[in-house]
Amino acid sequence: MSMIDRLIERPAKWLAGGKGQDEMVLSSRIRLARNLERVPFTNSADEATLTKVREDVEGAVKECFSMKGSLVIGVSDLDDVDRNILVERHLISQEMAKSSHTRSLVVQKDERLSVMINEEDHLRIQSIESGLSVGKAYKRIDKLDNELDEHLRYAFNEKFGYLTACPTNVGTGLRVSVMLHLPGLVHNKDIGRVIDGLRNMKLTVRGIYGEGSEFMGNLFQISNSITLGLSETDTVSNLEGHVKKVLDFEKKARELLLKKARTLLEDRIWRAYGILRSARLLSSKEAMSLISAVRMGVGLGIITDISLPVLNELLIMIRPMHLQKLHGRLMNPEERDRVRADFIRARLDRNEKEA
């Protein structure tokens, strides 16, 4: 059984949610960019250096109590499908999947904590939690960062803070991002203004698969873009504050929708559920949009026979690489649409039987 097989055996912990999880917030994610002192950055280092970096960092991670029992995945040795499985699970970046350097990923089996080695920076440490839990995610990543600091010498400058390959990460090297589900604001067309407002606050807004990805499934990733001149805790609480405002807007948009066009909304939501349960062909985009409608239905208490973890799990499992991995072979888009529809139907049927 390969490392990837072991990883995809079950959904990541952050998809399973917790009690009282807010449907409007899918996840909270934090990553820290770190580099080793007196070692060239990944893109300017030779392979021998990068191999040494990889060995040193993997060795250090193994020593950390926070990472006990984690999997070490040699990303360089994987084929394209497996590498993109890691992208679809939000464990490595698309750049890291495509790069040609020696590189690896150390990841806890529940996927809440992970370390990318030889991405743009020597280390990209990531912590990911269900719902709006930036504080919790920060606490976990800070602990791991401190542990690693005991075994590695980070490139650090008294004036600038942590040194990173890209100047935008210099300082704390911290990026906080929260994945929001905002169908109400998309529906009432206020989303453009909300995004503009966030960007004016120096926040970044992206789709579910990062830079350049479409806003599929009404999912929006909001993150800080400044890492210099602001403490870690300020960055975290700052972002949390803005997110809460966006959530208020979303709630109001939904309330208005319910008040003005309840039946129409219920119709849209139930049709989406009906199509997910019966279609024989589903593109990734349509599936995401239908899941979004059902998700809102769950959030509004209109649909009660499906839980958020099942919907969260679907968001990942219906991605092209996951489908191909499960199916054991590469498929053309039409085949994938068929297999995707089959997978969704089977998952919702199982859900119904368990209910």
Nearer to a copy of itself, 230 or 281 (CB): 281
Nearer to a copy of itself, 239 or 294 (CB): 294
Are the C-beta atoms of 317 and 301 separated by less than 8 Å? no
SS3 90: coil
Q: How far apart are CB 355 and a copy of itself at their closest, in Å?
A: 16
Selected from 12, 33, 113, 279, the binder of a copy of itself by CB under 8 A is 279
Selected from 270, 307, 316, 331, the binder of a copy of itself by CB under 8 A is 270
Nearer to a copy of itself, 5 or 334 (CB): 334
Nearer to a copy of itself, 209 or 270 (CB): 270
Pick out residues in 280-309 that bind a copy of itself (CB under 8 A): 280-281
Q: How far apart are CB 297 and a copy of itself at their closest, in Å?
A: 11
Nearer to a copy of itself, 205 or 310 (CB): 310
Q: How far apart are CB 337 and a copy of itself at their closest, in Å?
A: 9
Integer Cα distance of 152 and 141 in angstroms: 16
Nearer to a copy of itself, 80 or 349 (CB): 349
What region does 328 belong to: left with phi over 0, alpha with psi -120 to 50, or beta? left
Selected from 271, 305, 330, 346, the binder of a copy of itself by CB under 8 A is 271
Integer Cα distance of 170 and 166 in angstroms: 7
Choices 50-58, 94-102, 246-254, 265-273 (CB under 8 A): range interacting with a copy of itself: 265-273
- Least Cα distance to 176 among 124, 232, 130 occurs for 232
Are the C-beta atoms of 23 and 308 separated by less than 8 Å? yes
- Strands in 113-117's sheet, in edge-to-edge order, are 71-73, 104-107, 113-117, 123-130, 25-34, 174-181, 219-224, 203-206
Nearer to a copy of itself, 36 or 318 (CB): 318
Selected from 22, 110, 240, 266, the binder of a copy of itself by CB under 8 A is 266
Termini Cα distance of the chain? 32
Site string for a copy of itself, 316-355 (x = CB under 8 A): ------------------x---x--x--------------
Selected from 170, 230, 275, 316, the binder of a copy of itself by CB under 8 A is 275
Are the C-beta atoms of 184 and 296 separated by less than 8 Å? yes
Nearer to a copy of itself, 279 or 310 (CB): 279
**41 is an interface residue for a copy of itself by CB under 8 A:** no
Selected from 277, 283, 307, 327, the binder of a copy of itself by CB under 8 A is 277
CA angle 152, 156, 159 (to 5 degrees): 165
Selected from 95, 278, 330, 349, the binder of a copy of itself by CB under 8 A is 278
Rg of the Cα trace of the chain?
21
Within 158-283, where are the H helices?
Answer: 183-187, 191-200, 232-278
Choices 18-26, 157-165, 188-196, 262-270 (CB under 8 A): range interacting with a copy of itself: 262-270
Within the chain, where are the H helices?
Answer: 3-8, 13-16, 47-63, 80-88, 94-98, 134-151, 183-187, 191-200, 232-278, 284-299, 308-317, 320-327, 333-354
Q: Return the number of other C-beta atoms located less than 10 Å from residue 354's C-beta.
A: 8
Q: Residue numbers of the site for a copy of itself (CB under 8 A)?
A: 263-264, 266-267, 270-271, 273-275, 277-281, 334, 338, 341
